[in-house]
Structure 1
Amino acid sequence: MWVAEGIMQKRDAESLEETAAYDDVERLCRRNMVQVAEMTIDERIKSCRVHDLLRDVAIRKAEDENFFQIHDTRDDKISAKSRYLAVHTLPRDKNYFGSSTPPLRSLLFFNIRRYGEDISLSFKSFRKLRIVDLENVEMGYDLPEGIGEFRLLRYLGLRRTSIERLPHSFGFLRNLQTLDIRNINRVIVSNFIWKLESLRHLYANDIMSNVPLKIEGLRNLQTLSRIHFDHIMHNDMTTLTSLQKLGIWVDGTSEIDKLCTHLSVVGSLKTLHLYCLEQPQSLAGLSKLHHVTALKLFGKGLRTLPPDFPPNLSRLSLKETRLGADPMPVLEKLGQLSFLKMKDAYERQQHMGISGNGFHQLKFLELRYLRVDEIKVEEGALPQLRCLRIRECYRLEKLPEELKHISSLDKLELVDMPKDFIRRLDADMVSSVPNLRIF
């Protein structure tokens, strides 16, 4: 959103505006103007919030300047002067934006939820809009063709809106940078994506199209999430010169080896997510992806690990897979791996084991909702481990005693673990870890 507003600039030739925006969030947190609400295991800000007193001061100042308004009553008319408007309650009066043309640049909806009527956006009156966020507005209709009138629109958030189809007029939104259509249901999209020449981020859960979507030529595209295998294979990926993060749906007929050959030419690609509802015929070929450093494997269709991995892989996430055998003997041999996250990744087994030479570069390990009774760690394993987070592993009886011998371990986080597990914590182990956090 900050990038779409035009308030972020590149700090140097290589960094992106999005990188600068994250740096500013960190700077605000260090100055205590913004509070960190949740951190990732590798200590990046995942979510944040503003103290209520600071929020009140900011709102009063913004309203004095006719800069920003929050509308949270059904009786008042919405101001026609503010450039930024957050709507918490839709007024009774259908003409709630007034008769004059508002100078709105950003329009954000919060907590509206179910609303079966047309929100009555007069498209010709809102031609200056840069940002529209309709997240969680469960509209009972699809966007009209008039959305194409928002020619200056840079950010459109339709997450959890129940919208099922995007109109053809989307092809006119040549300034659109971010499109978020992460709905529970599939979203039907006609073949206009290639026209959105400014597009940087396309977020979706499932895009459906009668023909393979043309995406080649989008030289600004950085993020493309959850697109189907066939769509990818029908495009010349060498034209996506900025693509860094890609998520792909694969099924039982998908040929991963051909996919990896197809993607190996995308030198900018750093992160790959594969979503598997069925077990692919083969998972071989990942070793061709020399540029990929982060890999996520998701889905109940994945019952075995790939026979190979990207050679420079440093981050791996396994989520909701159905691995039948202990994955640790394979994963512990990945020489560059520094971050490993496993959530509901392993069919119920009695134990999981890490050998004495295992994970010699791993620094961050998160185990969540694993159905294991015991985790065995041999002495000498995990020599670089800095943070261990164990979350919702309800069958786990105790921590491995060998953890007390890992001198690099600085932080141990136990989240939503059973009370009996907490009671059985070894006093020596607790004292050996500088930072123990129990949530």
Structure 2
Amino acid sequence: MGQEPLMDVAERYLEELAKRCMVEIEAHDERKHAVTRLKSCRLHDLVRDLCLVKAKEENLYKMVDKRTSRDFSPAIDAHYGLVFRLDVKDISEPNFPPKEQTKHLRSFLCDLLQDNWEIFQGGLDVLSRVLFSRNIHELEIDRSLCKKLPDYQSHIFPDPAGLTQLKLHTNNIEEDPMGTLEKLPNLRIPELGPNSFLGQEMTCHSIGFPQLQHLVLNFLGNLKQWKVDDGAMPKLSSLRIEYCTKLEMIPDGLRCLTNLKEISLLEMPEKFNNRVRIENGQQGKDYDKISHVPLVNIRRGLDVLSRVLFSRNIYELEIDRSLCKNLPDYQSNIFPDPAGLAQLKLHTTNIEEDPMGTLEKLPNLRILELRPNSFLGEEMTCHSIGFPQLQHLVLNFLGNLKQWKVDNGAMPKLSSLRIEYCTKLEMIPDGLRCLTNLKEISLLEMPEKFNNRVRIENSQQGKDYDKISHVPLVNIRRTSRDVKTVWALSYFVPDRRVVFYETKSFDAMAQRIAHEKRLLVDFRRIHLFEIDDDEDY
């Protein structure tokens, strides 16, 4: 491969599979792709059918659909995978398959087919069969099966449980799950995800978790106290605690974990973090509990954003919800390798300070979309020589934005701009007149006062018309709230600006088209829209 980028190698392999009719691939629009030319990949129907036939021949899985069948097949088969679907009326009687049918079970999916369902009576039995199976090594449980985990009793399950990795998410367990999990003899990686445990106290007892190596506690919103007895988790090497905002302190027992090499404390309260820090030569109250650990990461929003925004390996990134009030500064001395990010979407990030000061320094950014409530400020500036590679920019639902300034030399390669629902924006930036590569502007659902500044109405140019007169195509669309249907026309001709015209009457639109054809000998293109007031653009 030499110096060939990995993305190009992956595309080449996919194209080779497509030539052999193994997969179907779809390419991006040539103007829109940022990183990869390929948009999606899927199996041909015949290939999928062949995979299903071979899986059935090898007895790899079985689907039990309780919506159509009340009982299991009388045939006793040993299955390696089970898809178990329950209808609402089956919640209290899951009728898990007999042991003979699941003795080789390695994977299990339980789909309860409804959004708001109650705890069902068979939950403990189902959990016992999958948690304590000797053949299931990795297990993820999403949604609640019962209010507590079943007890691990060796006389009922004589074969050692084979589970090595467990992820719990939204299980709403009310009793401390550690009493069960610590008895699993081969468990190495448990992750307690958001709302997996609703209680306030958790205890890891002595000699519990004999093989545990990595532990994750994430979004346990009620957890206040966590106790670790001497002798618990003797092989633990990494610990991550994230968004456990009520946890009061690090457990005393961590000082006895001699194999612990890394601790990550992510998005924890400052009060919690200060207990394990050294500030101005002063040790925090809990510093001695983890002083023996070689690596301790304490990160909040800015640190996380820095790692992903400025990574040389991340090419496409979408951030939804808030991490911090401002973006971190891009400092080349801290990040010596150029950031690889080519496409960025921000949504509901609630950033208060102008994000352009950071984003314009990303050397490879080509597509930037600032979506609803990504930026809450009133002013935004794109500085000279900023955004050297930017080609497509979207500003959508920035409800507070009033002024946007573009300096000369900013965004030299910008080819398309879309401004949508920025209802307080006062005008188009003066700097757009310097963007010689700008080919298309879309102004969607903007106020009439804003639109009138860039239009020609009755042969009168709007105040900002000259700022975008060089742009070949400008679409101005606004939904009519008065009538069901509006006909809208936009067109452009050589050496003239795009003109936009809308009317309630199709006949009036036809007359307008005829009139323009008579006046404009070099008429090139018409865009005719039938705009429905219920339509989303």
Q: State the TM-score bracket (shorter-chain normalisation).
A: 0.5 to 0.7
Match in the other structure for 2:243: 226
Which amino acid in the other structure matches residue 181 of structure 1? G
Instruction: Give the distance between the partners of 2:348 and 2:51, measured in 1 at CA.
Output: 42
Deviation at 1:168, TM superposition (A): 1.9
What secondary structure is seen at the aligned counterpart in 1 of 2:267?
A: strand
Q: Is 1:61 aligned to 2:54, yes or no?
A: yes
Q: Secondary structure at the match of 1:134?
A: strand
Distance 1:175 1:138, change over 3 A: closer
Give the counterpart letter for 1:145 in structure 2. D
Q: Residue deviations 1:316-345, cap 9 Å, x none?
A: 997645444423335545789899776634
Measured after TM superposition, the shift of residue 70 of structure 1 is 1.8
CA gap 1:304/1:418 in 2 versus in 1, 3 angstroms: same
Q: Deviations over 1:170-214 (max 9, x none)?
A: 124443446352338856573549948565684733362513779
2:199 aligned with 1:167: no
When residues 140 and 93 of structure 1 are mapped into structure 2, their CA distance, relative to the original with a 3 A threshold, is closer
Residue 300 (structure 2) aligns with: 274
Q: Counterparts in 2 of 1:217-366, with a 5 A limit? A: 218-219=236-237, 225-227=242-244, 248-251=266-269, 253=271, 274=300, 293=311, 302-303=324-325, 311-312=334-335, 314=339, 320-329=348-357, 332=360, 344-349=373-378, 351-360=379-388
Instruction: State yes or no: 1:81 paired with 2:78.
Output: yes
Equivalent residues of 2:193, 2:218 under 8 A apart: yes
Task: Tell me the distance in 2 between the aligned counterparts of 1:258 and 1:96.
Answer: 47
In structure 2, relative to structure 1, the CA distance for the partners of 1:155 and 1:325 (3 Å cut) is same
2: CA distance, partners of 1:413 / 1:98:
64
Which AA in structure 2 matches 1:248? Answer: L
Taking the aligned partners of 2:412 and 2:258, their CA distance within structure 1 comes to 40
Q: 1:44 to 1:192 in 2, by over 3 A?
A: farther
1:381 and 2:392 aligned: no
Using the TM superposition, give the Cα deviation of residue 52 of structure 1 relative to its aligned residue in structure 2, in angstroms: 6.4
- The one-letter amino acid paired with 2:119 is G
Please state how far the C-alpha of 1:107 moved relative to its aligned partner. Answer: 0.7
Partner of 2:111: 110
Shift of the alpha carbon at 1:152? 1.8
**2 CA distance for matches of 1:311 and 1:131?**
39
> 1:133 is matched by which residue type in structure 2?
E
- Give the superposition deviation at 1:105: 0.5
Q: Paired residue for 2:63, among 64, 67, 70?
A: 70
* Residue 190 of structure 1 pairs with residue 202 of structure 2: yes
Question: Mean Cα displacement is larger for which, 163-172 or 194-203?
Answer: 194-203
Specify the alignment match of 1:143 in structure 2: 149
In structure 2, the CA distance between the partners of 1:297 and 1:103, relative to structure 1 (3 Å rule), is: closer
Contact 1:273 1:298 in 2 (8 A): no
Is the 1:115–1:140 Cα contact (8 Å) retained in structure 2? no
Give the alignment partner of residue 164 of structure 2, picking from 154, 161, 166.
154
The 1:34/1:296 distance shift into structure 2, 3 A limit, reads closer
3-state SS in 2 of match to 1:86: strand
- In 1, the alpha carbon distance for the partners of 2:436 and 2:276 equals 42
Partner Cα separation in structure 1 for residue 325 and residue 82 of structure 2: 48
* C-alpha distance in 2 between matches for 1:311 and 1:216: 37
Other structure's SS at 1:211 match: strand
Provide the C-alpha distance between the structure 1 equivalents of 2:436 and 2:275, rounded to a whole number of angstroms. 39
Is 1:210 the counterpart of 2:225? The answer is yes
What's the TM-score, normalizing by structure 1? 0.59
Identify if the C-alpha distance between structure 1 residues 80 and 348 changes in structure 2 by more than 3 Å, giving closer, same or farther.
farther
Could you tell me how far 1:356 is from its partner in structure 2?
Answer: 1.1
Q: Which amino acid aligns with 1:370?
A: L
Taking a change above 3 Å as real, the CA distance of residues 300 and 48 of structure 1, as seen in their structure-2 partners, is same
CA–CA separation in structure 1 for the residues paired with 2:398 and 2:153: 45
Give a deviation string over 1:326-378, Cα, whole Å, max 9, x none.
233355457898997766342252x4221113245779988665333564433
Give the partner amino acid of 1:116: I
CA distance in 2 between partners of 1:225 and 1:146 (Å): 28
Aligned-residue offset at 1:399: 8.3
- How many percent of aligned residue pairs carry the same amino acid? 19
- Distance in structure 1 (CA, Å) of the matches to 2:235 and 2:36: 35
> How many pairs does the alignment contain?
389
For residues 258 and 306 of structure 2, the distance between their equivalents in structure 1, rounded to whole angstroms, comes to 15
Which segment is superposed worse, 395-404 or 171-180? Answer: 395-404
Q: CA 1:209–1:76 in structure 2 vs 1: closer, same or farther (change >3 Å)?
A: same
Give, as a single letter, the amino acid of the residue that structure 1 aligns with 2:141.
L
Cα offset, 1:84, TM superposition: 0.9
Q: 1:131 corresponds to which residue?
A: 138
Sort the Cα spacing of 1:176 and 1:303 in 2 relative to 1 into closer, same or farther, 3 A: same
Report if aligned partners of 2:178, 2:204 keep a CA contact under 8 Å in 1: no
Q: 1:328 to 1:266 in 2, by over 3 A?
A: farther
Query: What CA distance in whole angstroms lies between the structure 2 residues aligned with 1:268 and 1:206?
Result: 21
Read off the aligned partner of 1:380 and give its amino acid letter: G
Distance in 1 separating the partners of 2:385 and 2:213: 45
- Go from structure 1 to structure 2 and tell me whether the alpha carbon gap of 1:336 and 1:190 turns closer, same or farther (over 3 Å shift): farther
Q: How far apart are residue 115 of structure 1 and its match?
A: 4.5
Q: Which runs of 5+ in 2 are unaligned?
A: 1-5, 280-286, 455-467, 476-491, 493-535
Shift of 1:163: 3.1
Instruction: Report the Cα offset of residue 82 of structure 1.
Output: 0.9
Secondary structure class of the residue paired with 1:168? helix
- Structure label with greater radius of gyration: 2
Between the aligned partners of 1:37 and 1:115, the Cα distance in structure 2 is 44
Higher RCO structure (Cα 8 Å, ≥6 apart) = 1
Cα distance change, pair 175–305 in 1 and its aligned pair in 2 (3 A): same
